[in-house]
Chains A and B, each alone.
Chain A
Amino acid sequence: MTSTCPSELTLSLHADRELAASDAVATELHVATCAQCRVRLAGLRSETSIVAAALAHGDEALVVPAYRRPVSRLAMAATAVGGMLVAMLVGVAPDLIGGLLQGPVGWFNPFDVGTFANLGVEAVVFLAKHGAEIMTSIAKAALMAAFTTLVGWLAFVRRRRVRGPVVMVALLGIVLMQPMPSQALEIRHDEKGVNIPAGETIDDTLIVFGETIEIDGDVSGDVIAAGSRISIRGRVGGQVFTAGQSVTIDGEVGGSVLGLVSETLAITSPRIAGNLYGAGSTVDVDRRAKIEQNAVVAGERVQLAGAVGRDVLAGAESVEVSGSIGGQLTAYAEQIALRAPAHIAGNVTAHVSSADQLSVAPGVVIGGELKTELMTPHEEANEHRMGEHLLFQLLRFAAAFLTGVIVLALVPGLQRVGLDRAGDALLAGGVGLVTLVATPIIAVLIALTLIGLPIGLFGLLFWMVGVYLAKVVLAQFVGARLLKAADEPRHYTITLALGLALVIVVVNLPFIGGLLNFVLTILGLGVLVLFVWRVYRSDDAAGD
C-alpha cells in the first residue's frame, strides 16, 4: 500500500458504484496498477455480494398471514358513530328502566367515571345555559362583520357615486339588526331555582335547569326541565319532559308528559292531551287529573285516581286504581287494588303472584273481563337484587363484548395495541388522564369560539365514546397478554371475552374496585388516543 492508495472508504464507495465518475476512473486506474488495492476492492465486492446473498434468504419458511382488510376512514367513522349509539343506549337504558331494575350504576356506563363525568355533564349544562346566547352573538357578530365589510368595500371602492346610499344602507342595517332575531329555544338556568311567573308567556320551547323549578307562566312549545323539585302550574302547548327528584304537573299540557322521577311524580293536570309516561318511586295521578290518551306508569307505588282516556299499563309493587279508564288496564304488581269509584271500560288484566294479591272493592265497574295471570313467585328480596345485579353485569358484558368485537374487527390495529414496557403504561396513563380531564374543558372553550359550538358538542360525544371504548380495548389487551403469557395466543374474540370477564370482576371488587376502574379507564383512554394519533400521523407519513 502506498501513500497514494485510496482510502478504504473510497474503495467501499467504489465497490458500491457510488463514486463520482472522475473519482471512479482515478480509482480504477490506481487499482489496475496496485495489487494490494485490487485485493482490497475484490474483498469489498465479495463482502457485498455475500451480505446481499445472506440477506436474500431466510424467509423461505414464512407463512403469509391471512389478509385482513384494513379499515377505511369511512369504516372508522361508522365505528365511531356505532360506538356512540351503543354508548348512548347503554347510557340511557339504565335511566329508562332504572325504576324497575335497580342495577348499580354501570361500569360500562360511559357517563360513569365519577367526578370526571360530572365535568362533562357540567360542560353540557354550561353549553345549554349559554348556547343560545353564544349562537346569537356569533350570528350577530358574523352578520355585523359581513355587513361592515360590505359597507367598507362600497364606501372605499365606490366612494364618489354611492356614498349617500351607502350611509343609508348602513343605517338601515344597523336599525334592522337591533331587534333580536326571535329564538326557537329559550334556555334558563340557575343553580338555586328558576321561576317563570304567572303573567309570563314563552312562545318557544323552554329548557330549564335548576334546583327548584316553578313554571307558573304559559309555554307554547315543549318544556324540558331537569332539577330536584319541579312544578309546572302554567299551560304547556307541547310536550313535557321532566327529570328530577319530585315533579308536580298541575297545568294543562297540549302534548304528552314524560316524567322520570326519583321520588314522587304527581299529576293533577286537568288535561294532558297526549300520553303519560311516568316512572318514579311514587306515581300519583290525582282525581282531578285527566289524561286523554294512554298512561304507562312504573314505580314502587302507583295510584291512579284520575281519568285516562285509553289504556293503562302499570308496573309497580302496589297499584291502586280508583279513577276511570277508557280502555284496558294491564298491571304487573305485588298488590293490585281496584277501589270505588273505579270505572274501567275494557278488560282488566292483573299479573300477580297469587290471586289474593288482587282486590276489587264493591262498586268498581269493569266493562270487560277481569283476568288474573299468576306470575312465578319472586325470590327472596336479597337474592332477587343479587340476581338483578348479575343480570345487569351480564348485560353489560354482552354490550361491551359486542361493541368490542365490532370495533376490533373494523380496526384490527387495535387488537395489537400494547403496553409492553413500563414507559408505555406511564405514557398511556398520562395521556389518558389528560384526555379525561382536558377534553371536556377544551370542548367548552372551543364551544365559546366563533364556529365552535357544534365542534365542542361533538368533542364531548367523542370523549364519552372514548371513555367507553377505552375499557373494551384495555380488556382485549389484558386478555391477550394473559393468553400470551400462558403461551396460548387465541383469536381476539376469546381474548376479549376473557379480558372483559376479568375486568368486570376486578372493578366490582369492594374498596379498590373504584380505583382500579379509574386506572383502567385512563390507561385504556391513553392507549386509544395514542393509537388514533399514530394512525393519523402514519397517514400523513405514508404519502411521503
Chain B
Amino acid sequence: MKIEFEALYRDHYRRVFGLCRRLLGRSTQAEDAAQEVFVRAYRSLDRYDAHQPFAAWILSIAANHCVDLLRSRARDGKLFDEFDTEIDVLDASAPGALDTLVDEQRSAEIRGAIAALPDKYRLPIVLAYYNDANYDEIAHALGVTRNHVGVLLLRAKQLLRHSLAASQEES
C-alpha cells in the first residue's frame, strides 16, 4: 500500500498542487496545502471507492481543503454572503473582450488576474474551468446554491474583463 501510494503521489501531485495554487490565489501556501491533501488522502484511503477515478477523489479532497483554508482565513469564517446572489451589471466591456490573441504572456497575465480575484470569485472559476466541475459540484463544494454559482461565475468573468482591459490600457 505504501509503494502504491507513492506512485499515486507522483502521478497526481502536479494536478493537486495546480488546483491548490489556483484555488488559493496569491497565497504561497499551495505546497503545504498539497502535502496536507495527500496526508488526508492517505489517512482516509479506506474510504476511497476504487470504482471512482483516484484523481477525482483526491481533487475533491483538495478542493474541500482549500475552501476550508480560505474560509478559516475569512472574516467571520464566511466566504460568500447572502446578498451577492443579485447581479448588478458591471460597467464592463461586452463579452468577448478577452478574445484577443492568447500567447504565453497573455496566458500568464490571465492567471495572474484570476489569482488576484477575491476568494469568492476565484474559487468557482477555478473549479469550473480548471477542475471541469459542473455547477452542482461547485455548489456542493462551496456550500452555496446552484444559482449562486452562476452569478459568481458571471461576476468573476466580468471582473476579469475589467482588470485585463485595465492592464492592457496600461501597457
Contacts and interface: CB of A to CB of B under 8 A. Distances in A.
B102 interface: yes
Interface string B5-37: 110011001100110011000000001100110
B95 interface: yes
B: contact size bracket: 35 or more
A539 B41 CA distance: 9
A198 to B, nearest CB: 62
A193 to B, nearest CB: 54
Contacts of B107: 53-54, 57-58
A55 B153 contact: no
A157 interface: no
Interface stretch (A40-48, A318-326, A348-356, A364-372): A40-48
Nearest to A541: B64
A173 interface: no
Interface in A506-544: 538-539, 541-544
Contacts of B17: 59, 62
B44 A47 contact: no
A538 B66 CA distance: 11
B114 interface: yes
Given A16-B135, A51-B114, A40 B154 contact: no
The main secondary structure of chain A at its interface with chain B is helix
A52 B129 contact: yes
B2 interface: yes
B78 interface: no
A42 B36 contact: no
Interface stretch (A5-13, A25-33, A256-264, A435-443): A5-13
Contacts of B114: 51, 54-55
A40 B95 contact: yes
Given A12-B157, A46-B96, A51-B98, A539 B129 contact: no
A9 B87 contact: yes
Contact of B10 (A41, A67, A71, A72): A67
Contacts of A9: 87, 150-151, 154
A70 B150 contact: no
Contact of B40 (A16, A54, A539): A539
B88 to A, nearest CB: 11
Contacts of A543: 44, 47
A538 B13 contact: no
B68 to A, nearest CB: 7
A499 to B, nearest CB: 19
B6 A67 contact: yes
Contacts of A54: 102, 106-108, 110-111, 114
Contacts of A44: 95-96, 157
The prevalent SS among residues of B at the interface is: helix
Contact of A70 (B22, B43, B97, B157): B43
B43 A47 contact: no
A51 B44 contact: no
Contacts of A416: 32, 35
Contacts of B111: 54-55, 57-58
Interface centre among A41, A50, A54 (most CB of B within 10 A): A54
Given A55-B22, A59-B14, A539-B40, A39 B154 contact: no
B55 interface: no
Nearest to A539: B43
A408 to B, nearest CB: 14
B20 to A, nearest CB: 11
Given A43-B96, A53-B107, A539-B43, A48 B154 contact: no
A16 B133 CA distance: 11
A413 B39 contact: yes
Given A12-B153, A59-B18, A70 B96 contact: no
A65 B39 contact: no
A70 B134 CA distance: 31
A538 B36 contact: yes
Given A52-B130, A53-B107, A58-B18, 5 more contacts: A18-B150, A69-B6, A70-B42, A538-B39, A539-B40
Q: 8 tightest A-B contacts by CB? A: A43-B96, A43-B95, A54-B110, A70-B42, A542-B40, A55-B130, A70-B39, A542-B44
Interface of A: 8-9, 11-13, 16, 18, 39-44, 46-48, 50-59, 62, 64-65, 67-73, 412-413, 416, 538-539, 541-544
25 contacts: A8-B87, A8-B154, A12-B154, A18-B134, A39-B94, A41-B95, A43-B99, A47-B95, A48-B129, A50-B110, A52-B130, A54-B108, A54-B110, A54-B111, A54-B114, A55-B129, A56-B130, A62-B17, A70-B39, A416-B32, A538-B39, A538-B68, A542-B44, A542-B64, A543-B44
